[in-house]
Amino acid sequence: MKLKLIFAAAVFQILAVIAMLAYAYAPIYFGKEILLRTTVYDPRDMFRGDYVRLSYGFASVYELDKR
């Protein structure tokens, strides 16, 4: 009885890890690739370090159609 319980717990842990990996990799296999045009601003500042600010064309929409 105790051996079956230990075996069931081990199998459950292995299946849980496999399920988490499958959930993490599902978007890679079943997802859709989307390409975006970006505008890059790349300042090099001695005090703030190296960083990149990306802006997207659809991010500058301020007001939606209110019909």
- Give pLDDT tens digits for 19-54: 999 999 999 999 888 887 777 666 666 666 666 677
pTM of the shown model: 0.50
66 — pLDDT class (breaks 50, 70, 90): low
Contact, 12 vs 22, CB < 8 A?
no
Between 66 and 58, whose confidence is greater? 58
* β-strand pairing of 44-45 with 49-50: antiparallel
Cα gap 45→11, rounded to integer Å: 53
Distances (CA, A) of 5 to 1, 11, 16, 57: 6, 10, 16, 57
Instruction: Give 1-13 pLDDT, tens digit per residue.
Output: 899 999 999 999 9
